[in-house]
Amino acid sequence: PQTIRLEDYRPSDHLIDRVDLDIRLAPHDTRVSATLAVRPNPAGVPGAPLVLDGDELTLLGLALDGQALPADAFAASPGGLTLHAPPQRPFTLTVETQIDPTANTKLMGLYRSGGVYCTQCEADGFRRITYFLDRPDVLSVYTTRIEADREEAPVLLGNGDPGEAGAVPGTGRHFAVWHDPHPKPAYLFALVGGRLDRVSAPFTTMEGRAVTVAVYVEPGKGPRADYALDAVLRSMRWDEAAFGRPYDLAVFNVVAVSDFNMGAMENKGLNIFNDKYVLADPETATDTDYANIEAVIAHEYFHNWSGNRVTCRDWFQLCLKEGLTVFRDQEFSSDMRSRAVHRIGEVRTLRARQFPEDAGPLAHPVRPRAYAEINNFYTATVYEKGAEIVRMIRTLLGPAAFRAGMDRYFSENDGRAATVEDFLSAFAAESGRDLSAFARWYERPGTPRVSAAGSHDAQTGRYTLSLRQSLPGGDGAPLVIPVALGLVGAAGPLEATCERVRDGVFVLEAASDTITFAGVAEPPVPSLFRGFSAPVRLEMDLGDAERLTLLRHDTDPFNRWQAAQSVAMRLILDRATARAQEAEGAEGAEGAEEAGPAAAAYAAALGAFLDAEALADPAFAALVLGLPGEGDVANEMGRDVDPDAIHRARQALRRHLGRSLRGRLDPLRAALAPAAGAPFSPDAASAGRRALANAALDLLGIADPEAGTQAAEAQLAAATNMTDRLAALSVLAQIPGPARERALEAFGERYADEPLVLDKWFALQATIPEAGTLERIARLRRHPAFAMTNPNRVRALIGSFGLGNPTQFARADGAGFALLAETVEALDRVNPQIAAKLLTTFGSWRMLEPARSSRAGEILSRMQARPGLSRDVTDILARTLA
Ligand code: B3K
Ligand code: ZN
């Protein structure tokens, strides 16, 4: 495939100021008539041909200023339309195309989901609707007339504000016209037609504009849309208060569909969502689902400014809208919930998804320099690391200059397609700082390492801290790294001074640097990267006792949590590497799992922590109790990874922790139980209590499987909400035996008609870390609810296996890799985008020990030899194997 490079960017030779669309929906024969107001771009090449993008289109008619074009004036194929010598003045081009939305299983362009017509145009789906300059720097004002059968599609929605609507006399059809006054790139175009229920609410903006907010869902599911509707209203208010950004149309519509390639899409005034991120009620949604709905609703809404009003010049600038909008939705969720708890969640996601990406063959800069298939760059790096960059700007500049920079960025670029340079220059202008060295964050792939060493001089009361940065494989100029830090003593935080630390932040700009604190009477424990102030790996030789001091006394909740994680990580690593060295087969007798004094000290510290604080902040306590994931441990090892050894080591530590805390678990669960008859509330405090109670149940399950089974069965029977029900089922799923099979079967039957709940059930079974799971997955693939055409089902069953079941995915016999590869190959013929995404589960294959990695390599190479793979899969394969 052809490589597209940032350095080759040049403006379009033509612009399209207005687009008038007339779309007549029909299941197989949809007709699209597009009238384009085209003019030469003064910044382009004069006299250049007009080259319109297309993808699987059938051209039915073409006219220039109302006159049919002679055959030799143009060239057309399903993949494009070229006018060899277009007029060098403004002109109108009318193009008629035919498309088949029912046959569109790629879910890009116009397609049908459960009978509902809907669209997905980002990144390049609009060219599957009509021939167009399908690039984000061509902005047009759209008017769309949608026509459909009145029975089949009583609801017709488009971008912008509604206009004329009515019947098409004598046909059983009707139409609606939508006009969007805000110029936008084609990727923000959308329409919806179908039979849908609606919930709505009024909103008045800070400017006094009256807005009607509505959420559309499958018939009968209206009540499940209330939470999402409320989340829209809260997002609108928050963006006004936090960023001064009001909404700008008379309506804001959200539509939930069941077949969707990603989470949701920010089309102007008409956000289209995967129904997983809209539908919620206590019976079917977990606390995590509620939190995700709130976050995704906010994210798409916030794009109205960061993405739509200010869009991207080209796809290399994707982080400009995505990283920024993730930052904005993280801030929103932090304000709605607990900031500390949310921050820990953000970092867990970053480490679980972005760090491995950055350490493997798919690593790329936050602003990539080249791509073969842009849809493969909607990655954790662009999104999550992109958000961390924005967060660092705020840390470096402080909240006031940050806000001023944001205001300037929005006002300078409103209605424009901007670049990362435009973004940085707004902050430079407001703060008077030179951000050119900081800009390296956008260019360098890989996770930087910062190593730290400290020494205390009791005589002078000085503490010296040396920091050194390095980027794997990189020898370029250093990065600008904000290090939020403080010192902690045996009995609490220390008041120490260092003139190079401002507002608690030292900025590491050189490859290495040393700072000195005065007034340090006792040997301190440094608390570095508070709040995870930069996306780096910190290497520091702290002892467990020092880390446990941080857990106890640090003022920074993130580093308190981090301290417990670091101790657990070292314990797991030590055991996993010792195990890996012992000739294998030693699925240790219980005796071999005897914990040493270090594990005992860790468990004792967590016990004391629970006694002191569990009930004061249950959500935080639940996080402190959690061990690093198996993937985190693998990533920390970096090479020669044996997932079985990691799994055993982690399980052993969990078991030890559970047994040590055993006496506390039942009382804790009892203390956290809601009052009988109390109504369910998805708020953060209630969710936190459930999280801690379920963490206790989980420890009970591993410490004492018999008691755990009983408690989980009881919880399953009594649960009044999906959070508690699924948590109980997850505990049972980890304990082989008839109780597990009974519970799984009953759950599957109970929710047979609830696809989103069945997804949880598929995912849970796919992640059981046992050899029998492969057989289970083969069975579930034949389940009537499973379908390759539905991305949620595929992600639930196969994606969860690849991402969440390291021992079985990376089985030594290669059977797990083979399962993934077969699915990717089959799926590639249906939906290449999802196939490519699934294939990225192989991203860390080179980290595995030689036997496993050579199996993975063989399977990937075999796939590469197959003819007819999509560009999406070909691109991921080539990079994964490179
Ligand atoms: N902007 C969309 C993602 C589009 C993905 C295209 N392959 C959703 C979001 O990030 O808000
Ligand atoms: Zn986004």
Q: Which of 122, 302, 384 to mutate to test the pocket of ligand 1 (most atoms within 8 A of CB)?
A: 122
Residue nearest to atom 1 of ligand 1 (CA): 265
For ligand 1, the distance from its centroid to the CA atom of residue 249, given in whole angstroms, is 22
What is the reported pLDDT for 591? 43
Q: Which of 189, 254, 265 to mutate to test the pocket of ligand 1 (most atoms within 8 A of CB)?
A: 265
Per residue in 105-119, pLDDT (tens digit) is: 999 999 999 999 999
- The alpha helices in 462-596, defined as continuous H runs, are 544-553, 557-581
More confident residue, 595 or 433: 433
Encode burial over 695-714: b for 16+ CB neighbours within 10 A, e otherwise: bbbbbbbbbbbeebbebbbe
Residue nearest to atom 3 of ligand 1 (CA): 265
Residue nearest to atom 4 of ligand 1 (CA): 122
Max CA distance (Å), the chain = 97
| pLDDT (average), residues 687-696 | 98
Helix (H, G, I), strand (E, B) or coil at 151: coil
**For residue 579, pLDDT beyond 70:** no
Residue at token pair 């519970």: 743
What is the reported pLDDT for 709? 98
Structure-block tokens of residue 225: 């849309």
Residue nearest to atom 8 of ligand 1 (CA): 265
Of 351, 359, 350, 344, which is closest to residue 326 (Cα–Cα)? 350
For ligand 2, the distance from its centroid to the CA atom of residue 300, given in whole angstroms, is 6
What is the reported pLDDT for 582? 62
Q: Which of 254, 262, 376 to mutate to test the pocket of ligand 1 (most atoms within 8 A of CB)?
A: 262
Q: Which residues line ligand 1 (CB under 6 A)?
A: 122-123, 262, 264-266, 299-300, 303, 322, 375, 378
What is the reported pLDDT for 590? 44
Spatial contact of 40 and 13, defined as CB atoms under 8 Å apart = yes
DSSP string, 582-625: S-S-----GGGG---HHHHHHHHHHHHHHHHHTTT-HHHHHHHH
Segment (H or E) for 132: none
Where do the DSSP E strands lie in 331-407? Answer: 370-371
**For residue 160, pLDDT beyond 70:** yes
- Atom number, ligand 1, closest to the C-alpha of residue 833: 7
What is the reported pLDDT for 36? 99
- Atom number, ligand 1, closest to the C-alpha of residue 263: 8
- Atom number, ligand 1, closest to the C-alpha of residue 296: 11
- Integer Cα distance of 220 and 662 in angstroms: 45
How many helices (H) and strands (E) in the chain? 28, 32
What is the reported pLDDT for 203? 99
**For residue 793, pLDDT beyond 60:** yes
What is the reported pLDDT for 673? 96
**Residues 6 or more apart whose Cβ sits within 8 Å of residue 301:** 232, 235, 236, 239, 252, 266, 271
pLDDT band at residue 1 under the 50/70/90 scheme: confident
What is the reported pLDDT for 587? 46
**Torsion sign (Cα): 392, 398, 404, 407:** positive
What is the reported pLDDT for 256? 98
Spatial contact of 796 and 760, defined as CB atoms under 8 Å apart = yes
Active site residue 522: no
Of 838, 829, 750, 832, which is closest to residue 793 (Cα–Cα)? 838
Q: Which of 267, 312, 322, 872 to mutate to test the pocket of ligand 1 (most atoms within 8 A of CB)?
A: 322
pLDDT band at residue 78 under the 50/70/90 scheme: very high
| pLDDT (average), residues 198-224 | 98
Residue nearest to atom 9 of ligand 1 (CA): 265
For ligand 1, the distance from its centroid to the CA atom of residue 252, given in whole angstroms, is 18
For ligand 2, the distance from its centroid to the CA atom of residue 242, given in whole angstroms, is 18
pLDDT band at residue 475 under the 50/70/90 scheme: confident
For ligand 2, the distance from its centroid to the CA atom of residue 324, given in whole angstroms, is 9
**For residue 654, pLDDT beyond 70:** yes
**For residue 592, pLDDT beyond 60:** no
Beta-bridge mates of residue 23 = 32, 146
**For residue 589, pLDDT beyond 90:** no
Residue nearest to atom 10 of ligand 1 (CA): 322
In this structure, which ligand is nearest to the CA of 834? 1
Residue nearest to atom 5 of ligand 1 (CA): 122
For ligand 1, the distance from its centroid to the CA atom of residue 383, given in whole angstroms, is 10
**For residue 451, pLDDT beyond 90:** yes
Segment (H or E) for 124: none
Per residue in 741-750, pLDDT (tens digit) is: 999 999 999 9
Spatial contact of 526 and 505, defined as CB atoms under 8 Å apart = no
For ligand 1, the distance from its centroid to the CA atom of residue 837, given in whole angstroms, is 13
Domains and CATH numbers, the chain: 311-442 (1.10.390.10), 449-534 (2.60.40.1840), 539-703 (1.25.50.10), 751-882 (1.25.50.10)
What is the reported pLDDT for 581? 61
- Atom number, ligand 1, closest to the C-alpha of residue 266: 11
**Active-site choice (147, 266, 294, 300):** 300
| pLDDT (average), residues 481-486 | 98
**Residues 6 or more apart whose Cβ sits within 8 Å of residue 23:** 30, 31, 32, 33, 110, 129, 144, 145, 146, 147, 191
What is the reported pLDDT for 797? 98
For ligand 1, the distance from its centroid to the CA atom of residue 841, given in whole angstroms, is 20
Lowest mean pLDDT among 7-16, 266-275, 467-476, 704-713: 467-476
| pLDDT, averaged across the chain | 97
Half-sphere exposure in the Cβ direction for 625 (13 Å, CA): 33
What is the reported pLDDT for 473? 78
